[in-house]
Structure 1
Amino acid sequence: MSDYNRIEKALTYMSEHASRQPALEEVAAHVHLSPFHFQRMFCQWAGTTPKRFLQALTLERGKRMLEDEHSLMDISHSIGLSGSSRLYDHFVQLEAVTPGEYRNHGSGVAIQYGFHDTPLGEMFVAVTRRGVCRVEFSDDRGADEVVSCLRSDWPRGNLARSEEATGYVIDALFSKPADWKRGPLSLHVEGTNFQIAVWRALLRIPPGKLASYSQIARALGYPKASRAVGNAVGANPVAMLIPCHRVIQQSGALGGYRWGASRKQAVQFWELLHQEPAEL
């Protein structure tokens, strides 16, 4: 069992039993570690203790974030106007595949891809000359299957493996803002006009905040389109860069996630626990 798999299992256990605040020894035993080793591993992963995590793991947190209507869709993307700790949220430029590229199935497009270990598990990244076209969690599938899915989306593209060419995306996701030296990240993704509109709306949800499917539908001017919004959220091709993990059900329940509910919860809390104070 990898370190992330142990953490994921622990997160799920703590979430399911949060109402009774399980002791450190109990959670450690659940993932077959001593309390000392589990505490150390958890702190390395989350930057905080299991006890603090449990204190944050409440339905009230989700409810408070859902009530914060004003900041969900109005906040600026500009890094000069925000004190967000995650630089990539404000330096992501979304560019859709052109009709010609869609018809040509990526003919002549050079695509470099790579597999990278991260605190949230193995991630697969693919980039073109115009930007990032795929980011997903890949540790629950074989490499051949993941690459095959990429090839099915770009059947005439020229694929080549290069972790060196894709590593900058992982740096953007997990490095400190002060350490990020590149300019804005560009996304090169394929989607319908409605999907693109939903993905742009997701980019306006601040790190550490959550929105419901119905809130996004209302913000887009389609108050009865919650189901369609959910489908668009689920079709997001670039995990974390377009933050579909910040969308939950109106009740406060997690809702769906392509890579599983446990992973969604892990991403949410990783993001929450790694926020830095806003700039004054």
Structure 2
Amino acid sequence: MTEQQNINYNRIAEAIAYIKNNFQKQPNLDEVAQKINLSPFHFQRLFSEWAGTSPKKFLQYTTIEYAKILLKENQATLFETAHETGLSGTGRLHDLFVNIEGMTPAEYKNGGKDLIINYSFSESPFGSIIVASTEKGICYMAFVEEKSNAFAILQSHFPKAHFKLNFDAIQQNALYIFTHDWSKLSQIKLHLKGTDFQLKVWQTLLKIPLGQLTTYGTIATKIENPNASRAVGTAIGSNPVAFLIPCHRVIQSTGIFGGYMWGNVRKTAIIGWEGTKAQANF
């Protein structure tokens, strides 16, 4: 990310944080622009370029009421309703993830011994990311602030693996998710390290359609363990693949967006960004 891109990202992130914290007041364009020291015209243009929609529409997508409406309208039939309305068909994000493979018990136990993991750093609409892959698929992806610390965290997930700084075709295909028409992408394969319970939760997350939100309790019901909401939350918090496994689409039953491993502002930004894509494709 260039210095100017970084400045722009930080400005938009600050604007999103302000909108999120003041949504009940419905701040207008001038108010938000003043908070980040830009003219309303410059702010409108910069925000629209970055988020793909106007600040006013983005505010609508990211308010708590928006979250509550989505939940109220779908609830137990979230996936079915989304399919019937065409949202999952137009975005078809979860359809790309046809193959999800957990590491063997031996691989899981020995910390990735003998695994060769390629990794690289790239840019996304939501900041810098680190992405890593084995010969079987994407094994790790995270938003990063500092590269050396990000690599250390990756190593901690696979302490005995062999790492190569290499941007391979598997990573490239996965990162197209940010910039290409999703209906034209190739299958994205995941090679994940987790317990059977975690893998089941992560696989269920892949079925949440673009532009839709769900709750921890709904996920627990979907995996046929309705009393496991807390365990589901823990598994979601252990998600090793940011964005591709959309844990950002899970919120509290009250409609509050809740926490996110890679920052609450980023979660809000992603939800709004996906909301605009879903609306455009509907």
TM over 0.5: yes
For residue 21 of structure 1, what is the aligned residue in structure 2? 26
Identity of aligned residues (%): 41
1:115 matched to 2:121? yes
Give secondary structure in 2 for the equivalent of 1:204: coil
C-alpha distance in 1 between matches for 2:105 and 2:63: 45
- Which one-letter code corresponds to 1:235 in the other structure? S
| AA of the residue aligned to 1:266 | A
Mapped to 1, the partners of 2:218 and 2:27 lie a distance apart of: 34
Residue 149 of structure 2 is matched in structure 1 by: 145
Q: Which amino acid aligns with 1:17?
A: N
- Say which of 168, 171, 177 aligns to 1:172: 177
- After TM superposition, the score normalised by the length of structure 2 is 0.89
The answer to whether the 8 Å contact 1:89/1:203 transfers is yes
Aligned Cα root-mean-square deviation (Å): 2.2
1:210 maps to 2:216: no
1:239 to 220, 225, 242: 242
Asked whether the 8 Å contact 1:236–1:242 carries over to 2, the reply is: yes
Q: Work out whether residues 130 and 141 of structure 2, in 8 Å CA contact, stay in contact via their aligned partners in 1.
A: yes
Code of the aligned partner of 2:100? L
Question: How is 1:65-214 mapped onto 2 (pairs within 5 angstroms)?
Answer: 65-67=70-72, 68-74=74-80, 82-85=88-91, 87-92=92-97, 93-139=99-145, 142-163=146-167, 165=169, 166-177=171-182, 180=185, 183-214=186-217
CA change 1:98–1:173 in 2 (3 A) is: farther
TM-score normalised over the length of structure 1: 0.89
Contact 2:60 2:66 (8 Å CA) reproduced: no
The answer for the alignment partner of 1:60 in structure 2 is 65
Query: What is the alpha-carbon distance in structure 1 between the residues aligned to residue 237 and residue 105 of structure 2?
Result: 22
Which residue of structure 1 lines up, in the alignment, with residue 3 of structure 2? none
The answer on 1:226 being equivalent to 2:226 is: no
Change (3 A) 1:119 1:82: closer
SS of aligned partner of 1:209: coil
1-side partners of 2:227 and 2:259: how far apart? 19
Output the CA distance in 2 between the equivalents of 1:81 and 1:65: 13
How much has 1:178 moved relative to structure 2?
5.2
Distance 1:96 1:51, change over 3 A: same
SS of residue matched to 1:236: coil
Letter of the 1:145 counterpart: N
Check the 8 A contact 2:132/2:141 in 1, yes or no.
yes
1:66–1:175 Cα change, 3 Å: same
Number of residues of Structure 1 aligned to a counterpart in Structure 2: 271
Greater fraction of residues in helix: 2
1:252 to 228, 252, 255: 255
What SS does the corresponding residue of 2:127 show, helix, strand or coil?
coil
Partner Cα distance (2:215, 2:231) in 1: 13
Q: Does the CA-based 8 Å contact 1:133-1:187 persist in structure 2? A: yes
Deviation of 1:103 (Å)? 3.0
The one-letter code sitting in structure 2 at the alignment partner of 1:41 is: L
